[in-house]
Amino acid sequence: MTQRDDSGVLHDVDFVSETLGWVVGENAVILHTDDGGDTWGYQHAQGGSEVTWNAVSFATPSRGWVVGTGGRIAFTGNSGQSWRAQQSGTTEQLNDVFAMDASTVWACGMFGVVLYTDDAGSTWSTKPIYIHNEGYSNQALYGMFFASTEVGWVVGWPGRILKTSDAGATWSLQASAVTAQTLHAVFFRGENGWAVGEGGTILATKDAGQQWDPQYCDTVYALNDVVVDSDGKKLWVVARDGSVCYSGDSGDSWVIQGTRWTPLEPLASPEALPVPSPEAQSSVARLLGQWKGSLVGLPWHMLIGGAALAYTDWRGCLGIY
């Protein structure tokens, strides 16, 4: 792999199996692994070297999308061997993308932008968010999750949680009890859901969002992402300082896991990352999942903000943004 001095923040990760995954970030970086992260290679998408890719989502091992600044969207149909730019119809920054299947994909971003395609991105249409008694929303949106082709949620600023039950034709504002914090991510298991954001905010619902209640992890740092295991009991939330909030009881109680993150010197290339011992690799739990939540094995370490963080405890997680 050719070394490059990217030294930028990595924003998102998506794995479709224990071995096959992608990471995206600043300076047009798309990194790909097919061996669970033991080695990484660069991939290139049309969009220019100045683009920041904010999110990545794969529907299958071969078909995936990245979204980023300037309304840019790129698509691959061959596992990233080549990426093709798609016309989004907007120049606003896109912050998240969610691939429901090989054809149905959603994206969201600044100024209330929500995009939708049902033809794998050959055409993208906008889904304006109109809120009863408020009008059209132009608030920034940072995260999204779809439970089906009809039902989904988007979250953003200021503490906004919006739900659609008709594939984006209409949206309802759900009371989050948070009015001054940005929400970064949302995740559902059935009717149980969690949203996380600035100031250590964790919100939980047991009724598909009719009521959201706060949960507490002892941190004031921004929480950037949330992953939930298949039975909805174990949760991991990643914080901006590199720590991880963990719950084994659906969020009723939380503990901080972060004491074994080891900051290393900034590296010019993932090729220079140290390799954990076989014992450490074998002890890393099957943890971090794609948006749809299937857990994958991560016996490796990642770059965060241009610096390497090695994690050798029995759980690992990725803190990004």
| pLDDT the model gives residue 3 | 39
Kindly state the average pLDDT of the residues 191-204. 94
Q: What's the pLDDT at 177?
A: 78
Residue range 218-238: mean pLDDT, rounded: 90
Of the pLDDT bands very low, low, confident and very high (cuts 50, 70, 90), residue 234 is very high
More confident position, 262 or 320: 262
Measured in whole angstroms, the distance separating CA 313 from the mean position of its chain's CA atoms is 22
pLDDT band at residue 245 under the 50/70/90 scheme: very high
Query: What rounded mean pLDDT belongs to the chain?
Result: 80
**Which of 6-15, 86-95, 267-276 is the least confident region?**
267-276
Confidence check: pLDDT of 193 > 60: yes
The pLDDT score that the predictor gives to residue 55 is 96
Segment 104-111 shows an average pLDDT of 97
Under a CB-based contact definition with an 8 Å cutoff, are residues 132 and 151 in contact? Answer: no
Confidence bin at 258 (pLDDT 50/70/90) = low
Mind listing the pLDDT tens digit for each residue in 115-165?
Answer: 999 999 999 999 988 877 777 778 899 999 999 999 999 999 989 999 999
Read out DSSP for 193-241?
Answer: EEEEEGGG-EEEESSTTSS-EEE--S--SPEEEEEE-TTS--EEEEETT
In the predicted model, what is the mean pLDDT of residues 181-206? 94
User: For residues 200 and 212, what is the distance between their CA atoms, to the nearest angstrom?
Assistant: 15
**Res 84: pLDDT:** 95
pLDDT tens digit string along 267-298? 444 444 444 443 333 323 223 333 333 333 33
Place of tokens 């070297």: 49
Least confident of 140-144, 185-189, 263-267, 309-313: 309-313
pLDDT at 142: 96
Would you call the peptide bond into 270 cis, given omega within 30 degrees of 0 as the criterion? no
Task: Say what the pLDDT of residue 96 is.
Answer: 97
* Average pLDDT score over residue span 165-191: 90
Structural domains of the chain ordered from first start:
10-311 (2.130.10.10)
Least confident range of 20-24, 212-216, 286-290: 286-290
Return the pLDDT at 46: 78
pLDDT of residue 270: 43
Percent of the chain at pLDDT > 70 equals 77
For 131, the enclosing helix (H) or strand (E) is: strand 130-131
pLDDT tens for each residue of 49-70: 889 999 999 999 999 999 999 9
- Pick from 210, 88, 194: which is nearest to 143 by CA? 194
* Confidence check: pLDDT of 5 > 70: no
Region class of 200: left (phi > 0), else alpha (psi between -120 and 50), else beta: left
Better-scored residue on pLDDT, 134 or 182: 182
Instruction: Read off the pLDDT of residues 27-42 as tens digits, 9 standing for 90 and up.
Output: 999 999 999 999 999 9
